[in-house]
Amino acid sequence: MKHAPTALAALTALAILTILSLPLIGRAQDDAADAVDLRLRLQPGDTYKLTMTTDKTINEWIQNLESISTSTTAMWLTMDVIAVDDDGTARVKLTFDRVATTSDEEDDVSEYDSENPDEDLEFPLKIYQALVGQSFEVKLSPAGEVVKVLNADALQLAMATALSGGRSTFTIKTSSTKGMASALFGTSLRLDPIMLMDKKGLRRLAASLVFVRPGEPVATGHTWERDNDLPVDSAMNCDSTYKLASHQDGVAMVEIEGTLEHDPGSRSGKPVITFANTTTSMEGTRSGVLKLDEESGVVTSARITDTIKGETKPTEDADEDEPEGNPPITFLAAVDIVTTITCEKQP
């Protein structure tokens, strides 16, 4: 009889644990039922039509002088799924079908459409025109990673030839303050087509069309992170957090939040113009929403906003080295970049 209390206590503890665990089991079952697979599941022979539009507003301040410029660039592409490996890695071909741009820099308005180009095109429009009809291939993992860029030589040769006018060497000249943001921060904010002239830029473009996703089914509210995400500008590092906000009727909604920071160590992150006794920095935020087709994992639409602020300012001892009456210059820049993407499967 002396063991009866011990046995009773054990049974009581077991009953309490069972009761407490029931809600946890229920939630686990609910999460399992709610889970959705967001991986890419492309099929050989499938074709998709994509449109990528980037709207930029750049504010620049030098002393008390302010300048504002806006631009819109739209690209239409075809994505053909060539093959898919047993592990789900897909080989796709991306072809540029059309490019159109509009820009307004200090009331200097220009428009361009590759379907109706002017006879005399200057940089960067020559590069855009050279893109049309060109293609490159990439390998995409089921998690949305760009594994490799392939067959880009013809595209890059066409762009280089268009830019150089057939010469073996060429020089890009900038002679106004309109390019000051690019010159100071070393960014590609005003040189979009240049980034497509190497495989790193093409990788960035392809990655921005598919986005990263988890490698296993996830439930609503689940988050996953991506270090060094690929923002529009190649001189910025971006750390992003993705969250499955909801999914219904075969459509998943994913939210993005991230931070951006100037990368002075990158090839394009080194300032073109440097001043003695100054420091340069850029930082910002990213937000966005993706809509994914659950059957294929393809991003059918997206809207991403990058908000960036930059500053080049004198160091604390800069005044000591400057001639009297010639104070160090402070330069400020604010950039808003809104990227929208649509993708439709072709019959």
Kindly list the structural domains of the chain, giving each domain's residue range(s) and its CATH number in brackets, ordered by start: 37-345 (2.30.230)
Least confident range of 38-47, 140-149, 279-288: 279-288
Q: Given pLDDT bands bounded at 50, 70 and 90, which one contains residue 290?
A: very high
DSSP-derived letter for residue 178 is G
Residue 270 has pLDDT above 80, yes or no: no
Per the CB < 8 A criterion, the answer to whether 322 and 231 are in contact is no
- Highest average pLDDT, of 27-36, 77-86, 229-238, 315-324, comes from 77-86
| Greatest Cα-to-Cα distance within the chain, rounded to the nearest angstrom | 104
Per the CB < 8 A criterion, the answer to whether 60 and 93 are in contact is no
Residue 309 has pLDDT above 70, yes or no: yes
Please give the Cα distance from 315 to 307 (Å, whole number): 25
Per the CB < 8 A criterion, the answer to whether 298 and 79 are in contact is no
Please give the Cα distance from 336 to 261 (Å, whole number): 14
Please give the Cα distance from 284 to 334 (Å, whole number): 9
Residue 58 has pLDDT above 80, yes or no: yes
Q: Across residues 301-321, what is the average pLDDT?
A: 79
Contacts of 48 (CB under 8 A, 6+ apart): 78, 79, 298, 343, 344, 345, 346
Q: Which tops the pLDDT comparison, 118 or 177? A: 118
Per the CB < 8 A criterion, the answer to whether 271 and 244 are in contact is no
Query: Quick check: pTM over 0.85?
Result: no
Query: What pLDDT was estimated at residue 204?
Result: 85
Query: What pLDDT was estimated at residue 64?
Result: 77
Mean pLDDT score of the chain: 81
Please give the Cα distance from 158 to 161 (Å, whole number): 5
